[in-house]
Structure 1
Amino acid sequence: MRVRNALTATAQGFALMFITLVGSITLFVFSVLSLVFIVLGLGLITTPYVTAAVRGHANWRRRTAARWAGITIPEPYRPFPELPRRGLAGVVERTTLILKDPASWRDLLWLFTDMIAGFVLALFAFMFIPYGLYGSVLAAGVWEPIVNSGGSEWYAFVPVTSQYTANLAALVGLGLIVLGVFASPAFRQGHFYVCRGLLAPTPQMVLTARVERLTTTRHDAVDSSAAELRRIERDLHDGAQARLVAMGMSLGTIEALIEKDPQRAKKMLSMARANSAEALAELRDLVRGIHPPVLAERGLGDAVRALALRMALPVEVDVELPGRFEEPVESAAYFAISEVLTNAAKHSGARRVWLDVHYADGALRMAVTDNGKGGADTAGGTGLTGIERRLGAFDGLLAISSPAGGPTMVTMEIPCQPFPARADRP
C-alpha cells in the first residue's frame, strides 16, 4: 500500500509540475498584463475574463487537493450581486467588485508562489523514484557508451567511470527509491498545504462572510415574521372573526325573538352553536399553524410522526433523536419538513415518501425522499426558497438532488445542541 501510494504521488507530482509551469505562469502573466492595461482602459474588459480563468484554475486545484491529498480548501470569493447597469458602466462596476475582493489578490499571490514553491515541491514529489530507477539503468551498461565517447556521467555524487562505480550508483538509486516511497507522498502533501495557505479564506474573510450571512438571514427572518403576522391577521379576519361577528348578531336577534317566536329562536341558537364550533376549529387550526400542540408537548419526533399520518401520501418515518431541542429549532425543523412533504404531495407525482430525522456531529439532519418525477429546484417557486430562508436564520443548509425522472431527495441541516428530555419540561 505504501509503495502504491508513492507511485501515485510520483505520477501526480509530474502532473502538478506540468500544470504549475503551464497554468500558473500563463495566468500570472495575463493577470499582471490585465492589471497594467487597466490604466489604458483595456483592462476593464479583460480583467473579468482573466479573473474568471484564474478562479477556475484555483478551484480546480482545490478539487484536486481534496481528491489527491484529502485536503479541503474552501472558496473565499465574495458573491457577485446582480448588476442592474449594462454596457461600459456595468463592466466598470464588475471590475471594481473584482478588485475590491481580497481573494482576487490572494489568487495572484498564489500564482506567483505556485510558480516557485509549488513547482519545487511537485518536482521533489516526482523525482525520487524515476531518478532512482535511472541509477539501475546505469548499472545495466548505459554508462559505457557515454564514457567511451569521451563524455562523463555523474549520478548524484558518484562519478560513473567503471562497472564498479555504476554498481555504486545503482545502490544510491535504490536508496533514493526507498526514500521516495516515504518522501514523495510528503512532498505532494506539502504542495497542497502551500496551496491551502493562500487559497483558503483568512480568518478575516471568514468573519466578513459570517457577518454578511447573518445580515442576510436576519433580514430574511424579519421578512418571514412579518409575512407570518400578515397571514395570521388575514386568517383571523376572514375566518374566526367573521364567524364570531355573525354569531354575535345572531344572538342579538335571538334575544329579540326568544319570547315572540321561541321556535325560530331555538333554530337560530342551533346555528349559532354550529358557528361557534366552526370558529373554535378554525382557531385551533390557526394555533396549530403557529406552533402545533404536539410539537410543544411531545417534541419533534412525535410531531413529525403525527404530521406523516395526516399526509395524503404514505410516508415512512425513521426518527432517532437524543432528546429535545430549543423550541425555535424544533419549530423551524417541523415547518421545513411540513413544507417539503406538502411539495412532494402537490408537485412530485410520487407514490411514496421516506422521511429520515436524526442528530449527528452537532447538527439536526432531515432528509425527505420521494419516488416522483424529479425536477425540483429552489428557483421553481415551490416553497423551497422559503425553507432555505427559514433554515438560514439558524445557519442551516438546504441541499436538493432531483434529476429529471426522479427520485428527489431534499436534505436539511440545522446546527444545534440537544438537551435531555425532562419531566418538568413540556
Structure 2
Amino acid sequence: MKGMTTTTTRLERPPVRIRGVQRVLLDSAYALTAFPVSLAAFVVVVPVLATGAGLSVLGVGLALMTLSVLIARGFAVAERVRLRGMLGRSAPGPRYLRAREGDGVVRRVLMPLRDPQSWLDVVWSLVGLVTGTVAFSVAVAWWAAVGGGLTYWYWERFLPMDEDGVTLASLIGMGEGREPEIMLNTGFGVFALLTLPWVMRMAALTHAGLASVLLCGRAELQGQVERVQDSRDAARVAESASMRRLERDIHDGPQQRLVRLAMDLGRARRQVHNDPERAEKIIEDARRQATETVAELRSLSRGIAPPLLVDRGLAAAVEEMAQGCPVPTTVSAYVPDGLPPHVETAAYFTVAEALTNVAKHSGAGEAQVHVTMSGMGLVVEVSDDGVGGAHEGKGLGLAGLVRRIEAVEGELTVASPVGGPTLVRACIPVDRR
C-alpha cells in the first residue's frame, strides 16, 4: 500500500476532565469573574437597546438596536470562551444569519435583528447578571470563610475583646476567652476549606448552566441537524458506490461466465449427435462454470447482507471471515447481544475491507482483529505487520469505508506509516434505547 496516513473524524470527543486543585481554582476564577463580566454586559447592552427601542420609529433607533445586539453577541462570544477555557466545556458557537451577496444596506443593517440567537445573546446580557451575582457572592463568601477562619489564630490578637468577654464561642458553650474563639473560627475555616470544591462547582454551574442553555443550546441543535444531514448524504454516497461496485462485479464476473455457459451449451447441443464425447466434455465444463458462478454469486450476496451476520451475530461472522483470510489472523471479539443491525453491518464491513487490504496490499505475515465495547461505542481494530502506507487511494476501498462509517455517525482512523505497521480503527456509536 502506498501513500500516507489518513484520518477522518466524526464523533465529538468528550471535553478534558480537570480535577483537583486546578479544578477548584478554575471554578473559583469563573465564579469570581462572572459578576464583573455580566455587569459590563448589562450596563452596556441595556442602555443602548433601550435607547434604540425608544427611537425605533426613526432609522437611527433600529441602527442602535442592531448595535446593542452586536455588542451582546460579543459578550456571548467571550462567555463561550470562558466556558471552554475555565470549565472545559465544548461550548459550540452558533451560525448567525449573514446577509447574502446583493442585499441592500438596510437589509444588511437589520439582519442581526432577524437572528433568533442574537436575541438569546441579549437575554443572556440581561439575566446573566442575576446568576453572575449569585456565583460571585458565594465564591467571595466561601473564600473569605476559608481565609479568615484558617488565619484567625494570627489576626485575632489585633481585635479588641468585649468588656463582658462575650463571644460567639461563649454563647454556644465553648467557653470564654480567646482560645475557644480561635478554635471555633478555625473550625469554620476547616469546614469551608473541605467543602470548597463542591461549593465552587455549584457556584460555577449556577452561572454556566444558564449560559450553556442560552448561548450554546441552539448551536448544539444546529450541529445535530448538520450531523444528520452529513450522515444521510454519506449513506446515499456509500449506497450508490456499493451498487456501482456490485454492478461492476456482476458484469465482470457472473455475467461473463453465464454468457460463456450459454455459448458452451449451444455448442454441446450441436455436437451431441455428431460427437457425443466432445459434447460430454463441453457439458462437464459448463457444469463446472455453473458451479463457479453460483459460488461467485453467493460471495457477492455475502457482500450485501452476510447470512452468518444475520443468523449468528457479529462475532461469529468476523471469526468466519478471519478464517478465510490468506494472512493468518487472530480474532478477539467481545460483543454484547442486541446491537442495532446498522452497527453490526458497519463493523462487519470494516473488518472485511481491512482484511481485504491486508491480503492484497500489505505483505503482512499476520493480522489481528479486536472488536470491543467502550464508552464511545463499538470499537473495531484491525492491525497488521505489513509494509504500511495505507491511504484512501483508488482501489484500496478505504474511501468507501470512510463514507460507510460516516453514514452511522462514526469515526474511522487509519494509522499506517510507511514501513508499517498498520492500524485501522473504527468507533461506531451505539444507541441501545
CA offsets 1:215-274 (integer angstroms, 9 cap, x no match): 553454344334433333332233212321221122123212333344553453344334
Map 1:180-329 onto structure 2 (within 5 A). 180-201=192-213, 213-214=227-228, 216-262=230-276, 264-311=278-325, 314-323=328-337, 325=339, 327-329=341-343
- The residue aligned with 2:134 is 117
1-structure distance, mates of 2:270, 2:113:
75
Q: TM-score, normalised by structure 1?
A: 0.65
Question: Are 2:83 and 1:58 aligned?
Answer: yes
2-structure distance, mates of 1:263, 1:105:
93
Residue 334 of structure 1 aligns to which amino acid in structure 2? Answer: Y
2-structure distance, mates of 1:31, 1:57:
19
Q: Structure 1 pair 267/32, CA: closer, same or farther in 2 (3 Å)? A: farther
Residue 349 of structure 2 aligns to which amino acid in structure 1? Answer: F
Question: Are 2:369 and 1:355 aligned?
Answer: yes
Select the residue among 147, 156, 179 that pairs with 2:191.
179
Q: Structure 1 pair 295/188, CA: closer, same or farther in 2 (3 Å)? A: same
Question: Superposition RMSD on alpha carbons, in Å?
Answer: 5.3
Structure 2, unmatched stretches of 5+, are 1-18, 53-59, 162-166, 171-175
Select the residue among 411, 414, 418 that pairs with 1:398.
411
- The residue aligned with 2:13 is none
2:273 match: secondary structure:
coil
Map 1:70-89 onto structure 2 (within 5 A). 75=91, 77-78=93-94
> Is contact 1:366-1:412 (8 Å) kept?
yes
- The residue aligned with 1:138 is 155
Map 1:308-387 onto structure 2 (within 5 A). 308-311=322-325, 314-323=328-337, 325=339, 327-342=341-356, 353-359=367-373, 364-368=378-382, 382-387=399-404
2-structure distance, mates of 1:125, 1:402:
50
1-structure distance, mates of 2:148, 2:417:
52
> Is contact 2:231-2:406 (8 Å) kept?
yes
> Is contact 2:73-2:121 (8 Å) kept?
no
Post-superposition offset of 1:209: 5.9
1:415 match: secondary structure:
coil
Question: Are 2:404 and 1:412 aligned?
Answer: no
- The residue aligned with 1:16 is 30
CA offsets 1:81-121 (integer angstroms, 9 cap, x no match): 9x9988999xx79x869944477567656754564222223
Q: Structure 1 pair 404/165, CA: closer, same or farther in 2 (3 Å)? A: farther
Residue 191 of structure 1 aligns to which amino acid in structure 2? Answer: A
1-structure distance, mates of 2:251, 2:363:
35
2-structure distance, mates of 1:132, 1:20:
25
1-structure distance, mates of 2:423, 2:347:
19
1-structure distance, mates of 2:333, 2:142:
48
2-structure distance, mates of 1:111, 1:211:
28
1:39 match: secondary structure:
helix
1:260 match: secondary structure:
coil
2-structure distance, mates of 1:200, 1:182:
28
Residue 129 of structure 1 aligns to which amino acid in structure 2? Answer: V
Deviates more, 1:245-254 or 1:220-229: 220-229
1-structure distance, mates of 2:196, 2:405:
44
Post-superposition offset of 1:126: 1.9
> Is contact 2:368-2:384 (8 Å) kept?
yes
Residue 143 of structure 2 aligns to which amino acid in structure 1? Answer: F
Q: Structure 1 pair 184/387, CA: closer, same or farther in 2 (3 Å)? A: same
> Is contact 1:388-1:398 (8 Å) kept?
yes
Question: Are 2:52 and 1:39 aligned?
Answer: no
2-structure distance, mates of 1:346, 1:101:
53
Count of equivalent residues? 381
Deviates more, 1:409-418 or 1:170-179: 409-418
1:387 match: secondary structure:
helix
> Is contact 1:317-1:354 (8 Å) kept?
yes
2:369 match: secondary structure:
strand
2:408 match: secondary structure:
helix
2-structure distance, mates of 1:371, 1:80:
49
> Is contact 1:9-1:125 (8 Å) kept?
no
> Is contact 1:13-1:123 (8 Å) kept?
no
Post-superposition offset of 1:137: 1.5
1-structure distance, mates of 2:366, 2:350:
19
> Is contact 2:258-2:290 (8 Å) kept?
yes
Structure 1, unmatched stretches of 5+, are 64-72, 148-154, 159-163, 419-426
2:29 match: secondary structure:
helix
